[in-house]
Amino acid sequence: MVEFLWIIIALPLAGAVFLHFFGRYLREPLSGWLASAAVGGSFAFAVAAAMPFLQGGEHAETLLLWEWMPAIGANLEILWDPLSALMVLIVTGVGFLIHVFAIGYMHGDERFHRFFTNLNLFAASMLTLVLAGNYAMLFLGWELVGLCSYLLIGFWYVRAAPPPAAKKAFVVNRIGDFGLMVGLMIVFSAFGTLSYSGIFERAGAELTTGVATAVGLLFLLGAAGKSAQIPLYVWLPDAMEGPTPVSALIHAATMVTAGVYLIARSAAIYELSTVAQITVATVGALTALWAASIALAQRDIKKVLAYSTVSQLGYMFLAVGTTAYVAGIFHLMTHAFFKALLFLGAGSVIHAMSDEQDMHKMGGLLKKMPVTGWTMAIATLAIAGIPPLAGFWSKDEILGSAFARGGWFSALWVIGLVTALLTAFYMTRQWVMVFLGEPRWDEDKHPHESPAVMTFPLVVLAVLSVVGGLINTPFRLTLEHFLEPAFEMVSMQRPPEGWAMFALLAGLSVLAGLAGAAAAFLTYRQPEQGWRGFETGFEPLWGTWEGAYHVDDIYGRVIVAPGRKAAEAAAFAVDLPVIDGAVNGVARVVRGVGDWARPLQTGFVRNYGALLLAGTVTVVIWLVVGS
Amino acid sequence: MVDPGWYMALAGALFLIGALGLLIRRNALVMFMCIELMLNAVNLTLISAGRALNDINGQVAVFFILVVAAAEVVVGLAIIVAIFRLRASASVDELSELKG
């Protein structure tokens, strides 16, 4: 089975190549179904290949596909262990549902097949990233998903907003990639190889704490870029300019979790540096709180979800920073379920409202679109951490682990608890604003339930959001046993032992969730003046939140404007006079010499003859007299 | 036997006439003849030196030079004829397109 694992990557890649060349000849839904089938096929294959891990006792296997640069350990090789298997299952499983949803959502788009080409290319790239057996191949996938993200954010490039958003995502990610690249160089100079097996087995013996800290922090910079953490999270909200299935697939469920995966994969390096662990956890917790507070006040239905995603990714960073890797990956999985569902639900709403995204102009949609409404309600409860839905179990495990680690992490636990309250508040606010209350939409809108091709993925994801958390409860730690082989060489933080502690911690987080949800429900159930008054009551804080703390302005003034100035100085003060001057100067000297020497060429044969003769005579005289 | 020095003097005189003609005359055909004169002046020195030193190599070299000169004449005359057909004149002063 393992020797055929390359099929998992090859199927979507083949789909992308085929659709790129022949997609235009296919009728509209066919290219979408083809792309979905490619990803679905990968999923089926991954399920079959992951079976040995479920039965237990199986260890990681690597499959060498092609020796690229064996001297530095950079080959195309697949590492098949429980961690990569789980990531592949998430990417292909959720990816398949989103592909199917997109068939309905992208209906009527004139570049329908191109969309699925890019979507399939993304799936292949993401699978390359998670299946990589060394850092070089991981980096390859890392850059490829960045490219696909760029292509898909800017998919509607004729509109005004998407191209700058795509560019922003690309440039901000470049800052993170710089960190990852320098980190990889340090790793290479320390071990002489980029292969996972070569690094992780020797890390404990050969890596000093200082180097491990440097690598850990540089990897964190890379992960912060890809996974939208402070200070590089600013691209993700803008990335919502892409089509909604893209937001669901790339900017919620899969690509943005690559940073979490990177840190979890590099657990053996983080194991050696407490400083790096604390930094990762602190960045995560602060991002969680920061983004959650921004999400409170957003009006755009997708912006709420975007900031919510940043916030939830912060939870995952908190988890992996606490070395609760299983909890982080667990939350990654449950988040993929309910956040993909929320995005697809939002997409369904936007679709029904003919591209309206302002929640102030929605309301009362539950009667018009019951399937979307109820599935989104499930996702809202799941992310709010209401038991027994998926989000409760994973979030509680993260918070419990942070609490159990103690010390500085206790403070992070408090932040996480506050964030849980805010999360419940803003998600409930969104759901009530969109689905309950009086209709506030414009006269010309005629909301309607989406077709089955769109509601089917919603229902499947809703079921997963309900039961997905049950695979790793304190009663039955299936996921932990599943992932154990991948983390057997590192020490892992676990939630506190004992039922009393569990009940206390879970009770607190459920209380926070319920309080937030109830507050939002009661506030936004009121008529419009009521909740508008509630929001203005928080001024000027509310405006600051709605403006996302004006971070974009600050970055624009502190980083972008000076950068632009420096670029202009380099272009007009250095490049033009110095570089261009040197090049043009050489040309001018040559031309001057030519002008001076040109009259020598008179064009008269006799002049040349006389010179020739004079030269000959001179040589003869010199020979005769000189010798 | 005549003193070889006279042959050398004659060759030098012929070479000088050829060189002066080349510099002074404008007709391409005449200039070409002057070049031939210079060439044969050199041939004369080779032959007389070979005779004076009793060495056959001087004459051998002249045979080779004559053969090559015959080929050169063919090419040179062909070029002059082509120029004449093109411009109805053989004056080299009109052929000054390479002037800088």
Give per-residue pLDDT as tens, A110-121.
889 999 999 999
Q: Which among B92, B93, B99 has the least Cβ separation from residue A601?
A: B99
Percent of chain B with pLDDT over 90: 57
Q: Does position A56 have pLDDT exceeding 80, yes or no?
A: no
Which of A595, A596, A606, A608 is the best residue to mutate to test the B interface, defined by the most B CB atoms within 10 Å of its own CB? A606
What's the whole-number mean pLDDT along residues A533-554? 86
Give the distance from residue A600's alpha carbon to the nearest chain B alpha carbon, in angstroms.
Answer: 7
Query: pLDDT at position A375, please?
Result: 94
Q: Which of A116-130, A442-456, A551-565 has the lowest mean pLDDT?
A: A442-456
In terms of CA atoms, which chain B residue is nearest residue A609?
Answer: B23
Q: Are A62 and A151 in contact (CB under 8 A)?
A: no
- Chain A residues within an 8 Å CB radius of B93: 604
Q: Which residue has the higher pLDDT, A43 or A479?
A: A43
What's the whole-number mean pLDDT along residues A208-216? 92
Q: Are A226 and A281 in contact (CB under 8 A)?
A: no
> For residue A609, with 0-12 CB atoms within 10 Å meaning exposed, 13-18 middle and 19 or more buried, which class applies?
middle
Identify the band that residue A614 occupies on the pLDDT scale cut at 50, 70 and 90.
Answer: very high
Q: Which of A52-56, A329-333, A404-408, B38-42 has the lowest mean pLDDT?
A: A52-56
Which of B16, B17, B20, B22 is the best residue to mutate to test the A interface, defined by the most A CB atoms within 10 Å of its own CB? B22
Query: pLDDT at position A201, please?
Result: 86
Q: Are A39 and A92 in contact (CB under 8 A)?
A: yes
Buried b (16+ CB within 10 A) or exposed e, A46-78: beebbebbeeeebebbbbeeeeeeeebbbbbbb
Identify the band that residue A378 occupies on the pLDDT scale cut at 50, 70 and 90.
Answer: very high
Identify the band that residue A499 occupies on the pLDDT scale cut at 50, 70 and 90.
Answer: confident
Give per-residue pLDDT as tens, A328-361.
999 999 999 999 999 999 999 998 888 888 888 8
What's the whole-number mean pLDDT along residues A552-558? 90
Query: pLDDT at position B1, please?
Result: 67
Nearest to A167 by CA among A230, A227, A235: A235
Average pLDDT, chain A: 90
Check CB contact under 8 Å for B93 and A604.
Answer: yes
Give per-residue pLDDT as tens, A252-302.
889 999 999 999 999 999 989 999 999 999 999 999 999 999 999 999 999
Query: pLDDT at position A355, please?
Result: 84
In terms of CA atoms, which chain A residue is nearest residue B38?
Answer: A613
Give per-residue pLDDT as tens, B47-85.
999 988 999 999 999 999 999 999 999 999 999 899 888
- The rounded distance, in Å, linking the Cα atoms of A348 and A102 is 10
- Chain B residues within an 8 Å CB radius of A597: 100
- The rounded distance, in Å, linking the Cα atoms of A564 and A572 is 12
Check CB contact under 8 Å for B100 and A598.
Answer: yes
The DSSP output letter for A62 is E
Quote the ipTM score: 0.83
Query: pLDDT at position A58, please?
Result: 66
What's the whole-number mean pLDDT along residues A392-417? 91
Query: pLDDT at position A66, please?
Result: 85
- Chain B residues within an 8 Å CB radius of A610: 23
What's the whole-number mean pLDDT along residues B8-31? 91
Q: Which residue has the higher pLDDT, B97 or A308?
A: A308
The whole-model pTM stands at: 0.81
What's the whole-number mean pLDDT along residues A213-217? 94
Encoding tokens for residue A567? 């670029």
- Chain B residues within an 8 Å CB radius of A600: 100
Give per-residue pLDDT as tens, A602-611.
888 888 888 9
Query: pLDDT at position A459, please?
Result: 94
Interface of A with B (CB under 8 A): 597-606, 609-610, 613
What's the whole-number mean pLDDT along residues A481-508? 85
Query: pLDDT at position A57, please?
Result: 61
Query: pLDDT at position B63, please?
Result: 93
